[in-house]
Structure 1
Amino acid sequence: MTDLYLIRHGIAAEHGTYQNDDERPLTQEGDRKTRKVASRLKELELEFDIILTSPLIRARQTAEILKAAGLSQQLEECAALAPGGNLHDWVSWYNNWKTTSAKAFALVGHQPDLGHWAELLLWGNFQESLIVKKAGVIGITLPSTGSPIGQSQLFWLTSPKFLLS
């Protein structure tokens, strides 16, 4: 079994403040809080075999903060994690990537996509009930064989508020 951590990017510049929404960076507060969350995850002894990130700047910055905190040595962009990305594209990547030694990895992306992906992995359909707060984390255990869709188990759901206290 492999543990998957879905992590939403930190607080970013307001929607509409940049001509190209893909270029909205983390705010100073977003950077600061994301660093605190990353530090807390490190204190909890989390370690990822790889961090995959959306190509959008705010997600990329969040992933780089996680890497700099020592949570992973490896970081890659994944187009499927961009807003509107397809879970099945990521599942194809995962099936090619997974190894018997893989223990945990993180996906850094956006809401509502991360919430939808979690629901698909857990229940096989959208419930429209899981919301990942900025710099929040959902932990899901993926099955060792077969498709993870509808076959995974939730083990952690936390907002950044609990990681910052």
Structure 2
Amino acid sequence: MDLVLVRHAIAAERGTVANDAERPLTPEGAERMREAARGLARLVTPQVIVSSPWLRAVQTAEILREQFGLGKVRISETLAGDDYQAVVEMAAETDASPVALVGHEPWMGELLAYLLTGDPAGMAVTFKKGGAALVRAAGEPRAGNCWLEWFIPPGALRRMAGS
């Protein structure tokens, strides 16, 4: 099974809205994500997109959905929490591959570490806003039983879109 981990795009600054979960993407962030999504499309085609319920992640997931011509984005509270195993189980239950998971830092970096090492603190990883990684597993993903195929910052994805 393949998992595409994506950090949300550039969002409004903290403190600009009362509830952090309601911070939207900036117009620049949305445009940059559209470009990054075109670059991502050169590498992988997700079959399902699952997003954190937070607005900036949902908006990022919608940009991906449009790029890939997929149906409705699935929303999962697990992508806004800290239960890494619940995310792995939720992704496996989609019966699709690849599954794109859209979320936040530092959580996405910790999820990547969990998948690769079995420990969310097992390695230091930071996703830039709009960055993505492809994680592979033979069969269903399990903690420490996956491997990293690629990890690409958003600027490289945008440059790939222009190639």
TM-score (norm 1): 0.89
Hey, what does 2:108 align to over in structure 1? Answer: 114
Contact 1:48/1:71, CA 8 A, preserved across alignment: no
**AA aligned opposite 1:52:** V
Residue type of the alignment partner of 1:30: G
SS in 1 for 2:64: helix
Contact 2:91 2:99 in 1 (8 A): no
Distance 1:104-1:71 versus aligned 2 partners, 3 A rule: farther
Amino acid at match of 1:63: A
Counterpart of 1:136 in structure 2: which amino acid?
A: G
1:134 to 124, 129, 143: 129
* Superposition deviation, residue 97 in structure 1: 3.0
The amino acid across from 1:33 in the alignment is R
Q: What does residue range 1-165 of structure 1 map to in structure 2 within 5 Å? A: 2-42=1-41, 44=42, 46-70=44-68, 72-82=70-80, 84-98=81-95, 102-125=96-119, 126-145=121-140, 148-165=142-159
User: What's the C-alpha RMSD, in Å, of the aligned pairs?
Assistant: 1.5
Letter in 1 for 2:102: V
User: Is residue 120–residue 149 contact of structure 1 (8 Å, CA) maintained in 2?
Assistant: yes
Deviation at 1:71, TM superposition (A): 5.4
Structure 1 pair 141–40 and aligned structure 2 pair: CA distance change class (3 A): same
Long gaps (5+) in structure 1:
none
Distance 1:77 1:87 in 2: 16
Secondary structure, aligned partner of 2:50: strand
Aligned length: 158
Deviates more, 1:71-80 or 1:123-132: 71-80
Identity %: 36
Q: Structure 2: which 5+ residue stretches go unaligned?
A: none
Inter-partner Cα distance in structure 2 for 1:29 and 1:152: 34
Q: Which runs of 4+ in 1 moved over 6 A?
A: none
Task: State TM-score, norm by structure 2.
Answer: 0.90
- How far the C-alpha of 1:76 sits from its partner, in A, is 0.2
Distance 2:77 2:45 in 1: 23
Measured against aligned partners, the alpha-carbon deviations of 1:11-39 in whole angstroms (never above 9, x if no partner) come to: 00001111100110000110110010112
Rounded Cα–Cα distance in structure 2 between residues aligned with 1:130 and 1:76: 25
